């Protein structure tokens, strides 16, 4: 990025385009950078052993003195999951709504950096000045309370970032989307709109969260034993509706799963959940109640193998169990990639004799993201001159562009970006221009960014075909073998069942070493490479497998 452009406006994604997850965007004017969100995402199956992916923030690190604030739109993991890692490298002030900050606090406490962090609570009426950039906000609906869209007033015009949204005209807890405010912003003129694209593939209008309540109550009314409900812990509206159904059917409520306990505690404390006193009881107590008086709210609706629902399904939860006649409600759709794990849990629950209510036909889940008509509604309200579809995989961004065109945005004014690609505005001229560094930082245990392509490539080969280690001892003087080779397999074959193969390997090693000795090859590197190649070819021909082959030569 050009250093001398003091009057240049820059918009870029550090995460969140061409992917679902690790959202992080920036708006920069001259020397003022405002960061929006800092999410994490889970690795796909190709990133073996990786725990979490967070955005690469090297651009921000090299512009440390310019970063004025981190503004957070809402409290979902794909918007806040990377915050502790970010703050440890550059402590900047955080702005977010009450619930959002409450959820961030849990993370900061876990990472031991709560007290040194500056957090400022904002709401729809707030206005914050961050250098030359003035931020204001508008309330939206989503599957978590207290979501905000962000308006950036800059010398190059108004930029709007929607955050995640749907248009729910009959919301739970009356958290309405502020259509009038959005109309006002649009009327004043929006230079560039960044709008989320999650449901750009889905026609129509997403159902209201409040439709779930009636179906929940119906299920509770029919239930004879205990009722277990598994859903996203952060969907406080859903939790409220579960609590309401439990109240109406005279059931107590117990919570299973650390995240569920944490979120309910924060949401209750901040007044986002209304729970009659004495309603929530300890799980040991709940286990002793007559089943028809008991409701359990639990984590694990995505089939996570260590979460409460999976443990209940496997009868391995120590304090609670699912019995014949109990009802289990999975009030969530599996996110792509989780279908098999969820299906396994349903199988296990059926085998326990429970009644299971799951799947899209049950109408116990609605999306938190707006469908095509809602995306068009946002575009129509904001009437942007330029449009950047964000928060989605490529096909979603692509289809969002088509929606934008259908409501009158010029096709050439839509930018489908990759992470790091820059849209700039200079003297009113908006165009795509260059890029800043962006990418993914892998978290594995305590290691942040220390796992690279070589380690991952090794893990892939190890996971497919294991490793074969051959240890030989040779005399320093003549390169002569002093003992028989020692062959060790991990993940390749089970040595005790493969005596013949191991014997053939050893003979091949002895033959190869003798041949090299004969040819007076005594450089270690050449010996190792020769052994590796010879064994590799032999093993592939014999087994059609390609283990990592590691010759260890000890010279004495």
Q: Which of 207, 270, 407, 462 binds a second copy (CB under 8 A)?
A: 462
Task: Pick the closer one to a second copy by CB: 3 or 316.
Answer: 316
Q: Which of 155, 434, 445, 511 binds a second copy (CB under 8 A)?
A: 445
Residue 435 marked in a binding site: no
Q: Compute the CA torsion angle 187, 188, 194, 196 (nearest 10 deg).
A: -40
Residue 518 marked in a binding site: no
Answer for the pair 254, 297: CB distance below 8 angstroms, yes or no: yes
Contact between 362 and a second copy per CB under 8 A:
no
Contact between 112 and a second copy per CB under 8 A:
no
Residue 236 marked in a binding site: no
Task: Pick the closer one to a second copy by CB: 218 or 393.
Answer: 393
Residue 142 marked in a binding site: yes
- Picking from 181, 191, 183, the residue whose alpha carbon sits closest to that of residue 125 is 181
Query: How far is 25 from 36, CA to CA, in rounded Å?
Result: 5
Binding track over 377-396 against a second copy, x by CB under 8 A: ----------------xxx-
Residues in 259-288 at the binding interface with a second copy, rule: CB under 8 A: none
Angle of helix 236-248 relative to helix 210-222, nearest 10 degrees, comes to: 40
Number of residues that bind a second copy (CB under 8 A): 64
Residues in 486-505 at the binding interface with a second copy, rule: CB under 8 A: 486, 488, 490-494, 497-498
CB 394 to a second copy: min, Å: 4
- Picking from 267, 270, 324, the residue whose alpha carbon sits closest to that of residue 297 is 267
Residue 37 marked in a binding site: no
CB 166 to a second copy: min, Å: 19
Task: Pick the closer one to a second copy by CB: 71 or 470.
Answer: 470
Answer for the pair 524, 553: CB distance below 8 angstroms, yes or no: yes
Residue 75 burial class via C-beta count within 10 angstroms: exposed 0-12, middle 13-18, buried 19 and up: buried
Task: Pick the closer one to a second copy by CB: 428 or 494.
Answer: 494
Answer for the pair 79, 102: CB distance below 8 angstroms, yes or no: no
Task: Pick the closer one to a second copy by CB: 529 or 545.
Answer: 545
Output 61-68 pairs: Cβ under 8 A, ≥24 positions apart.
61/89, 61/90, 63/33, 64/90, 65/31, 66/28, 66/31, 66/32, 66/33, 67/33, 67/34, 67/35, 67/92, 68/32, 68/33, 68/34, 68/92, 68/93, 68/130, 68/131, 68/133
Task: Pick the closer one to a second copy by CB: 119 or 467.
Answer: 467
Residue 74 marked in a binding site: yes
Contact between 49 and a second copy per CB under 8 A:
yes
Contact between 45 and a second copy per CB under 8 A:
yes
Task: Return the HEC string of 44-101.
Answer: CCCCCCCCEEEECCHHHHCCHHHEEEEECCCCCHHHHCCHHHHHHHCCCCEEECHHHH
CB 330 to a second copy: min, Å: 12
Binding track over 127-146 against a second copy, x by CB under 8 A: --------------------
Q: How far is CA 516 from the centre of its chain?
A: 53
Q: Which of 465, 468, 509, 527 binds a second copy (CB under 8 A)?
A: 465
Rounded to the nearest 5°, which phi and psi values hold at 314? Answer: -90, 10
Contact between 201 and a second copy per CB under 8 A:
yes
Residues 6+ apart with CB under 8 A from 439: 55, 56, 419, 420
Task: Pick the closer one to a second copy by CB: 397 or 438.
Answer: 397
Tell me the Cα Rg of the chain: 29
Q: Which of 62, 447, 526, 533 binds a second copy (CB under 8 A)?
A: 447
Q: Respond yes or no: is residue 196 known to be catalytic.
A: yes
CB 305 to a second copy: min, Å: 10
Residue 130, H or E segment: strand 127-130
CB 465 to a second copy: min, Å: 6
Contact between 429 and a second copy per CB under 8 A:
no
Query: How far is 491 from 543, CA to CA, in rounded Å?
Result: 14
Answer for the pair 492, 468: CB distance below 8 angstroms, yes or no: yes
Q: Which of 1, 32, 48, 173 binds a second copy (CB under 8 A)?
A: 48
Query: How far is 525 from 378, CA to CA, in rounded Å?
Result: 64
Of the chain, the end-to-end C-alpha distance in Å amounts to: 57
Instruction: Report the b/e string of 16-50 with b at 16+ CB within 10 A.
Output: bbbbbbbbbbbbbbbebbbbbbbbbbbbeeebbeb
Q: Which of 66, 98, 181, 459 binds a second copy (CB under 8 A)?
A: 459
Task: Pick the closer one to a second copy by CB: 44 or 116.
Answer: 44
Query: Choosing from 156, 196, 209, 421, which is the catalytic residue?
Result: 196
Answer for the pair 190, 181: CB distance below 8 angstroms, yes or no: no
Query: How far is 16 from 38, CA to CA, in rounded Å?
Result: 10
Query: How far is 130 from 68, CA to CA, in rounded Å?
Result: 6
Contact between 61 and a second copy per CB under 8 A:
no
Binding track over 530-549 against a second copy, x by CB under 8 A: ------------xxxx--x-
Query: Choosing from 161, 215, 317, 369, which is the catalytic residue?
Result: 369
Instruction: Report the b/e string of 237-267 with b at 16+ CB within 10 A.
Output: bbbbbbbbbbbebebbbbbbbebbbbbbebb
Q: Respond yes or no: is residue 369 known to be catalytic.
A: yes
Q: Which of 306, 429, 477, 556 binds a second copy (CB under 8 A)?
A: 556
Q: Which of 2, 7, 222, 340 binds a second copy (CB under 8 A)?
A: 340
**Annotated binding residues:** 49, 51, 74, 76, 78-79, 142, 164, 233-235, 365-369, 391, 444
**Annotated binding residues for Ca(2+):** 49, 51, 444
Contacting residues toward a second copy, per CB under 8 A: 18, 44-45, 48-49, 201, 203, 336-337, 339-340, 343, 346-348, 350-351, 356, 359, 361, 393-395, 398, 444-447, 450-452, 454-456, 458-460, 462-467, 469, 471, 473, 486, 488, 490-494, 497-498, 542-545, 548, 550, 552, 554, 556
Query: Which residues are known catalytic residues?
Result: 196, 369
């Amino acid at each position: 990025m050009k250093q001398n452009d003091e009057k240049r406006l820059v918009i870029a994604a550090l995460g969140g385009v061409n992917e679902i997850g690790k959202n992080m965007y920036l708006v920069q004017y001259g020397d003022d950078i405002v960061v929006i969100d800092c999410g994490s995402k889970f690795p796909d199956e190709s990133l073996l052993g990786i725990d979490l992916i967070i955005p690469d923030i090297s651009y921000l690190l090299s512009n440390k003195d310019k970063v004025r604030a981190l503004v957070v739109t809402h409290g979902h993991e794909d918007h806040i999951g990377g915050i502790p890692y970010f703050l440890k490298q550059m402590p900047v002030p955080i702005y977010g709504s009450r619930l959002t900050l409450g959820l961030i606090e849990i993370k900061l406490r876990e990472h031991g950096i709560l007290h040194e962090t500056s957090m400022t609570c904002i709401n729809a009426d707030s206005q914050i000045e961050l250098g030359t950039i003035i931020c204001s906000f508008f309330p939206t609906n989503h599957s978590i309370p207290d979501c905000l869209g962000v308006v950036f007033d800059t010398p190059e015009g108004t930029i709007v970032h929607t955050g995640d949204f749907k248009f729910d005209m009959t919301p739970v807890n009356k958290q309405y989307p502020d259509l009038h405010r959005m109309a006002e912003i649009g009327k004043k003129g929006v230079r560039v709109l960044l709008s989320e694209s999650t449901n750009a593939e889905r026609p129509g209008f997403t159902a209201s969260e409040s439709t779930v309540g009636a179906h929940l109550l119906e299920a509770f009314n029919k239930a004879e034993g205990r009722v277990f409900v598994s859903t996203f812990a952060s969907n406080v509206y859903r939790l409220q509706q579960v609590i309401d159904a439990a109240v109406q059917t005279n059931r107590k409520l117990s919570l299973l799963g650390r995240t569920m306990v944490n979120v309910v505690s924060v949401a209750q404390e901040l007044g986002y959940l209304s729970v009659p006193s004495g309603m929530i009881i300890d799980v040991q107590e709940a286990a002793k109640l007559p089943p028809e008086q008991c409701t359990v709210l639990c984590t694990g609706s995505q089939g996570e193998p260590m979460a409460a629902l999976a443990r209940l399904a496997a009868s391995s939860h120590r304090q609670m169990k699912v019995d014949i006649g109990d009802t289990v409600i999975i009030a969530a759709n599996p996110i792509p990639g989780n279908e098999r794990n969820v299906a396994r849990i349903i199988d296990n629950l059926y085998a326990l004799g429970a009644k299971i209510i799951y799947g899209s036909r049950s109408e116990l889940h609605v999306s938190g993201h707006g469908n095509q008509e809602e995306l068009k509604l946002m575009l129509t309200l904001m009437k942007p001159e330029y449009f950047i579809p964000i928060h989605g995989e490529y096909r979603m961004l692509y289809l969002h562009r088509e929606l934008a065109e259908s409501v009158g945005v010029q096709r050439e004014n839509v930018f489908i970006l990759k992470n790091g690609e820059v849209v700039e505005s200079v003297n009113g001229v908006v165009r795509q221009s260059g890029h800043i560094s962006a990418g993914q930082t892998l978290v594995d245990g305590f290691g942040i960014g220390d796992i690279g392509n070589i380690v991952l490539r090794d893990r892939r080969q190890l996971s497919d075909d294991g490793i074969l280690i051959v240890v030989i001892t040779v005399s320093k003087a003549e390169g002569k073998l002093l003992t028989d080779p020692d062959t060790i397999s991990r993940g390749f074959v089970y040595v005790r069942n493969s005596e013949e193969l191991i014997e053939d390997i050893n003979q091949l090693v002895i033959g190869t070493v003798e041949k090299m000795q004969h040819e007076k090859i005594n450089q270690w590197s050449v010996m190792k490479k020769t052994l590796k190649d010879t064994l590799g070819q032999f093993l592939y021909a014999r087994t059609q497998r390609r283990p990592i082959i590691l010759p260890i030569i000890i010279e004495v």
